[in-house]
Amino acid sequence: MKYHGACSCSMCRTEFETDLPLSDFQPRVCDCQYCQQNLGQLLSHPSAQIRVFAGIASHLTANKNGGTAARFYHCKNCNDFICVGVEIDQEMRGVLNSNLFNDRATLGDAIPVQPRFLSDQEKFDRWKKLWSHLSFMS
Ligand SMILES: [Zn+2]
Ligand SMILES: [Zn+2]
């Protein structure tokens, strides 16, 4: 199944493809200042595919948050937080902001996470396990 979402101005559309029912997913709500300010709920699963229909250079702003290589992508037009992406073993992996989801009410309850207590290496190891495959299609 493919689940869709979009930013407020609809310039950046998103797709989350998975065989699992949406109610199996619990988005993670990160307690760092960045995620709190940008109303992020992070959704990923290693078996799921995330597609963002937006060009990295043309439609998105990439922000850093902390010392890791992960980039937080925002719509260039409405500034909505879209997803986080990082390259792991030559492949883009990422999490989607499920606040942009049309079907977000179907998701399981959100769980709070505190990645600021993890080292950068621990974060990286966690992403490798949890994050989805991410692609940008312009
Ligand atoms: Zn937008
Ligand atoms: Zn955060």
* 2-136 under CATH 2.170.150.70, yes or no: yes
Q: What is the mean pLDDT of the chain?
A: 94
d(CA 20, CA 71): 27
138 confidence band (pLDDT: 50, 70, 90): confident
pLDDT tens string 111-137? 999 988 999 999 999 999 999 999 999
Q: Where are the domains of the chain?
A: 2-136
The protein residues having their C-beta less than 5 angstroms from ligand 2 (an ion) are: 30, 32, 35
What is the reported pLDDT for 10?
97
- pLDDT, tens only, 67-81: 899 999 999 999 999
Kindly report the length of the chain.
138
* Beta strands, E only, the chain: 2-6, 13-17, 28-30, 42-43, 49-53, 60-64, 71-75, 81-88, 91-97, 111-113, 132-136
Assess contact for 96 and 5: CB atoms under 8 A.
Answer: yes
Strands 91-97 and 71-75: unpaired
Q: Cα–Cα distance between 22 and 123 in angstroms, integer? A: 25
Q: How far is the CA of 10 from the centre of ligand 1 (A)?
A: 5
Q: What percent of the chain stands above pLDDT 70?
A: 100
